[in-house]
Amino acid sequence: MYALLKPEHRLVRQLAREFAEKEVKPLAATLDEEERFPVETIPKLFKYGFFGAAYPESEGGEGGDSLAYVIALEEISKVCATTGVIYSVQAGLGMGLFAKYGTPEQKEKYQKGAFTDKLVCFALTEPGVGTDASNVQTVAVKDGDDYILNGTKMFITTAGQAEWYIIIAVTDRAKKNNGMTAFIVHKDAPGFSVGKHEKKMGIRGSATCELILKNVRVSKDDILGKEGQGLKMALASLDSGRMGIATQALGIAQGAIDETIRYVKERKQFGKRISQFQNTQFKLAELQTKVDAGRMLVWRCAMLKDAGLPYGKEAAMAKLYNSDVANLVTRECVQLSGGYGYTREYPMERMMRDAKITEIYEGTSEAQKMVISRAIGVK
């Protein structure tokens, strides 16, 4: 499969794999155990240009493409899903919105920093707003040349660590879905604060927090895109986000297989290596086949995006399939590893916990089925 890649993409894979093994993997278990943000790793992701992998050099990126991005994201997610989701949110959602909708002034002020040392996060979800994104309750009331924002967001990835927050708020409720707007809010804006830090089952090192906005004043110059287009922008950005989470799930699954192969080739039972039993061989063959199929779904998304073609259905398919595969693969890998697989001495149990969220965020599996069924004309 990798032989089909261009030399530049094979180089990206090699560099990302080396970075993941050297810089990311040694910290993965500690980040999970301590539920700690990877403060050591993120500056290095900036330094080596990973966040700019899919963006042109003219904007401050590395001149690569979406395929380069998903290749790098898979390698990182193989060893640490926490770092993978931080990478995905920054490079896919946050920077993608600036790149597509930002004014030249906003790109200079915000996007430039997002390539070098500033984290960005995207805030749509609220306590009562999950799959139904049209039910946003955070409001923005016009006050002269400014807007006053009030509301609460929750389950926001990288919250508390980001410099800039893209907040979706209602500016005209009468216009319903056309009455929401995206605002750029700085972490130190008066009235803006980070609330509860969620204690999670998996990806425990990623900061997932509540955001509280109390009379936060935002200039009209910090509207991202046009007023009233916030929900449209948010939903469009989810295509990129779903491609990213599909890739994270792919990485988790491949990482679990890789670790399990190492284990079964060392562990002996009944005088034989576990890898010599046909059941083990056939099970891993089945799992690897599913993972390879999932990789093709992800690469198809990336290639469509790079060609400037719609890829919403394909992104939903990739996320639906790969999140299911990640959960299946990690459970089976724990089973193949026996009692040791259930302990924290080996990474398979962490990968199993990390895999579950891929069926939930960036749209649940049920939401992906809705997107796919509409796209194929089933209404």
Looking at the DSSP bridge assignments, the partners of residue 129 are: 126
362 given a catalytic annotation: yes
Shortest CA distance to 68 belongs to which of 322, 291, 305?
A: 305
Question: At residue 185, what are phi and psi to the nearest 5 degrees?
Answer: -120, 130
Name the DSSP class of 316.
H
Name the DSSP class of 207.
-
CB contact at 8 A, 175 and 125? no
Q: Is 311 helix (H, G, I), strand (E, B) or coil?
A: coil
Instruction: Considering the candidates 57, 74, 362, 366, report the single residue annotated as catalytic.
Output: 362
What b/e string do you get for 112-142 counting C-beta neighbours within 10 Å, with b at 16 or more? Answer: ebbbeebbbbbbbbbeebbeebeebebbbee
Which amino acid is it at 59?
E
Q: Which residues contact 117 (CB under 8 A, 6 or more apart)?
A: 43, 46
Distance CA 344, CA 350 (A): 7
Q: Which residues are catalytic?
A: 362
